[in-house]
Structure 1
Amino acid sequence: MKAIKIVLAIVIVSVAAIGIYYAPIIERLYFAMNMDDEASMAENLRISDTYYKTHLIQRSSKPEAFPRNVQQGVIPETFVNHGETLSTAEFLKEAKPTGLLIIKDGQVIHEQYWQGLVESDRQFAFSVAKSMTSVLVGMAIGDGLIDDVNDPVVKYLPHFKGTAWDKATIANVLEMSSGVDFDEDYSRTDTDMQRFQVNFVLDKPMEPFLLALKSAHPPGTKQGYNSMETQLAGFLLRAVLGDRTLADYMHEKLWEPLGAQDDATWTTDVTGMEVAIGGLSMSLRDLAKVGQLFLQRGQWHGEQLIPESWVLESTTPSKPYQMPGRDNPLSEKPFGYGYLWWTPVEPNGREYYASGLYGQYLFVNEDKGLVIAMYNANNKFNEAPDWWKERYQDLFQAIAIGL
């Protein structure tokens, strides 16, 4: 009887230990599966970083707020999308915004929050992190950590030789023209992105996933949206930063000199590698500072934080497969693309933007001195991402035209 009790005790302890080990994974799986629940999505986006491993990006030691010059009539009553005049109020009702911050000539002219978000709150920004990764690549080039954007990626990641990434340059990766095969369709559950997400939630490291991908076509021939391109750029950055993380570098090069008012977080995998494809949580007002920095061609209080050449190059489509247009056979999207920055289908002057899943945006119109930062909790976004993106884009352009 004593032996049976000992065995039962061992079994109970073992089951409890297994439960303790798997409980966080089960909790993350449940959270991920219910992320876009309409009733709780806005809150989910605010607390998302509490369910994952993260690196902290501390706010600046000298936080700085934008001066305010709040104006009326900044948001137009209507805007045009595909020739149809839409009610802005009705669109916003569908789009489910959580925050909208508009900066004109360095001053806040409109600030509004919904669904429980307040100005100091972080919100998960998804693929806006791609554009932020591009910013860090440009800074690394400016710091001499990367020699040239046209270098092959294997120069910095030699263990990727012989893989699908072998012939790609850094520019190819930032343009999403590496030719690596990856199915990103968010409307289905049988895609490469779905496999990647499941692996991540189950605490599997990201790098083996990238090493196993295959090539679909030669690099530098056409553009195809592939989040793994940005993740490779993240690995490249980590390789050249030495013992610093991407979060360390972002704090040093952006958050500190920009006077960031709030802490940000960058989600990591089990190895501590940042999720460059979309792991940043930050406040809307600090995100807007990055837009203002780009508007000022990389200058902040007289200091050149980003090379001006990088600001221009990274936000300007230059190759045939990067050009905007609904009839571009070399691109699967109607929008233009630079180095992880989008441009509108029909730009009004120099315009570019960062875009994230469920409606996260940082939009810049240089001619109007305009920066628009917007967060949404749009649970319908995945049903037609490009359709939604055009509507947000058209609203931003209408705001710019009206100012």
Structure 2
Amino acid sequence: MTAEPNLYIPPRDGAEWADLAPAEAGFDPARLQAAIDFAKASESSWPRSLYYPDGRYVGIVEWNESGPWSEIAGPVRERGGPAGLVLKGGRRVAEWGETDRTDMTFSIAKSYLAVVAGLAFDDGLIRDVDEPVRATVDDAFFASPHNAPITWRHLLQQSSEWQGELFGKSDQVDHFRQIGPGADNSRKGEKRALNPAGTYYEYNDVRVNLLGYCLLQRFRRPLPEILRERVMDPIGASDRWEWQGYRNSWVDIDGRSMQSVPGGGHWGGGLFIGARDHARFGLMVARGGLWGSRRILSDAWVKAMLTPSPTLGNYGYLWWLNRGAAAKPDLPASVFSALGAGTNVIWADPDHDLVVVLRWIDKSAADGFFSRLVGALR
């Protein structure tokens, strides 16, 4: 849906967020509470310190990673417990846990990166998503014959097949990587033959981090500054969130040292943020880039961002879609989500002006929560 300017929007952080009783929001109260109780009882199996007793970082264990590129390069902080919100029409229908706590959010940062890319597009810094990146980012990263054809669209859809090393991490670290239920990462990190740009999907954090670096080169300002100024402050978010890079991801631009930020917490760093701020962000995207009468992001970019990729039918520009072979038939095709390990979720059903944030649920229980949630709708 494209939002109407007179729809309710939450006030700035610290002011009273309007509530809506579950029955008024179209939920069976008892069944909604059962879904929430299920989420609370299904906490992520990850240790709250994010390190196992033997000293291994959770992400390295999760993705079966070892070898020369597995060093943790960014900050890591202890996480909180299960938390979440359910919004209907922007109003709170339910809330649980520490929703103001600024925890790591892992690959949800990718979806924020897609919105920052949209700002670059709206500003004309990305002239055409199908233009090779090298046309406006004069960098050796795109000098080879293999990398030269890579476009912004390829980076946004994770089909770039870029080859190289960025901030001490090689693209090879995520070769053969799998995510989601039944993922088999027994071959992760094995070198494989690369395909032409735009023909092969691979969930690869080094290549996503390259997108962040390229956007930094186009804006010539730190991306956290852009996000705060253009998105988070206008939607009334808190001032407590942070976007942290790696200790070796500082670059010099126009005489100023700036930190390139990653699209997740694979090697530490990334977006540290609370569930309430996630909810505001998800609501803005679900309403087509509008926040009340203020346009944050162009409607054209939101539509493109949520359009299925040719190499993966349930993926857009760094957002997950309820489309393609993986679509859940009990949900509208318009449903989309931002997903991060742990498990962290921003889930939106724009057709019903419904936004849900889910934090630190076991990955095997996430589908069960959303099945219960949808089943609670009358």
Using structure 2 for the length normalisation, give the TM-score.
0.69
Q: Give the alignment's Cα RMSD to 1 decimal.
A: 2.9
Which residue of the partner structure matches residue 130 of structure 1? 110
Structure 1 pair 183–92 and aligned structure 2 pair: CA distance change class (3 A): farther
Amino acid at match of 2:370: F
Q: What is the CA–CA distance in structure 2 between the aligned matches of 1:394 and 1:175, rounded to whole Å?
A: 27
Secondary structure of residue in 1 paired with 2:357: strand
**Gap runs ≥5 in structure 2:** 1-10, 23-28, 46-80, 163-170, 179-183, 251-258
Does structure 1 residue 255 correspond to structure 2 residue 255?
A: no
Structure 1 pair 303–250 and aligned structure 2 pair: CA distance change class (3 A): same
Shift of 1:356: 0.6
Q: Residues 85 and 276 of structure 2 are in contact (CA less than 8 Å); yes or no, is this contact kept in structure 1?
A: yes
Which residue of the partner structure matches residue 72 of structure 2? none
Q: What is the CA–CA distance in structure 1 between the aligned matches of 2:290 and 2:128, rounded to whole Å?
A: 21
Does structure 1 residue 89 correspond to structure 2 residue 38?
A: yes
Structure 1, residues 34-66: CA drift from partner, whole Å, max 9, x if none? xxxxxxxxxxxxxxxxxxxxxxxxxx9876553
Identity of matched residues, %: 24
Structure 1, residues 2-54: CA drift from partner, whole Å, max 9, x if none? xxxxxxxxxxxxxxxxxxxxxxxxxxxxxxxxxxxxxxxxxxxxxxxxxxxxx
Shift of 1:222: 2.3
Matches within 5 A, 1:142-221: 142-159=122-139, 160-163=141-144, 164-180=146-162, 182-184=172-174, 185=177, 191-192=188-189, 216-221=194-199
Matches within 5 A, 1:12-31: none
Q: What is the CA–CA distance in structure 1 between the aligned matches of 2:34 and 2:135, rounded to whole Å?
A: 52
Relative to its length, the structure with more helix (as a share) is 1
Q: Residues 43 and 82 of structure 2 are in contact (CA less than 8 Å); yes or no, is this contact kept in structure 1?
A: no
Matches within 5 A, 1:67-82: 67-71=18-22, 72-73=29-30, 75=32, 77=34
Structure 1 pair 64–182 and aligned structure 2 pair: CA distance change class (3 A): farther
Does structure 1 residue 276 correspond to structure 2 residue 263?
A: yes
Does structure 1 residue 99 correspond to structure 2 residue 77?
A: no
Does structure 1 residue 241 correspond to structure 2 residue 219?
A: yes
Shift of 1:103: 0.6
Does structure 1 residue 287 correspond to structure 2 residue 287?
A: no
Structure 1 pair 68–90 and aligned structure 2 pair: CA distance change class (3 A): closer
Shift of 1:165: 2.9
Structure 1, residues 150-205: CA drift from partner, whole Å, max 9, x if none? 12121232222334532211101111111235343487698549xxxxxxxxxxxx
Secondary structure of residue in 1 paired with 2:351: coil
Which residue of the partner structure matches residue 111 of structure 1? 95
Shift of 1:261: 2.6
Q: Residues 183 and 192 of structure 1 are in contact (CA less than 8 Å); yes or no, is this contact kept in structure 2?
A: yes
Amino acid at match of 1:252: E
Which residue of the partner structure matches residue 17 of structure 2? 66
Q: What is the CA–CA distance in structure 2 between the aligned matches of 1:109 and 1:342, rounded to whole Å?
A: 24
Shift of 1:216: 0.7
Q: What is the CA–CA distance in structure 1 between the aligned matches of 2:213 and 2:206, rounded to whole Å?
A: 10
Structure 1 pair 143–398 and aligned structure 2 pair: CA distance change class (3 A): farther
Shift of 1:67: 1.5
Shift of 1:240: 1.0
Does structure 1 residue 314 correspond to structure 2 residue 314?
A: no
Q: What is the CA–CA distance in structure 2 between the aligned matches of 1:75 and 1:225, rounded to whole Å?
A: 33
Shift of 1:374: 1.1
Shift of 1:75: 2.7
Q: How many residues align?
A: 289
Q: Residues 113 and 263 of structure 2 are in contact (CA less than 8 Å); yes or no, is this contact kept in structure 1?
A: yes
Structure 1, residues 306-340: CA drift from partner, whole Å, max 9, x if none? 01111111112042x221xxxxxxxxxxxx10000
Larger radius of gyration: 1
Q: What is the CA–CA distance in structure 1 between the aligned matches of 2:280 and 2:354, rounded to whole Å?
A: 12
Shift of 1:377: 6.2
Which residue of the partner structure matches residue 321 of structure 2? 343
Structure 1, residues 271-326: CA drift from partner, whole Å, max 9, x if none? 1221233400011001110110011110012011001111111112042x221xxx
Q: What is the CA–CA distance in structure 2 between the aligned matches of 1:371 and 1:132, rounded to whole Å?
A: 16
Q: Residues 88 and 353 of structure 2 are in contact (CA less than 8 Å); yes or no, is this contact kept in structure 1?
A: yes
Amino acid at match of 2:107: S
**Gap runs ≥5 in structure 1:** 1-59, 79-86, 194-212, 324-335, 382-387
Q: Residues 268 and 275 of structure 1 are in contact (CA less than 8 Å); yes or no, is this contact kept in structure 2?
A: yes
Q: What is the CA–CA distance in structure 1 between the aligned matches of 2:319 and 2:224, rounded to whole Å?
A: 20
Which residue of the partner structure matches residue 287 of structure 2? 296
Structure 1 pair 230–166 and aligned structure 2 pair: CA distance change class (3 A): same
Q: Residues 106 and 263 of structure 2 are in contact (CA less than 8 Å); yes or no, is this contact kept in structure 1?
A: no
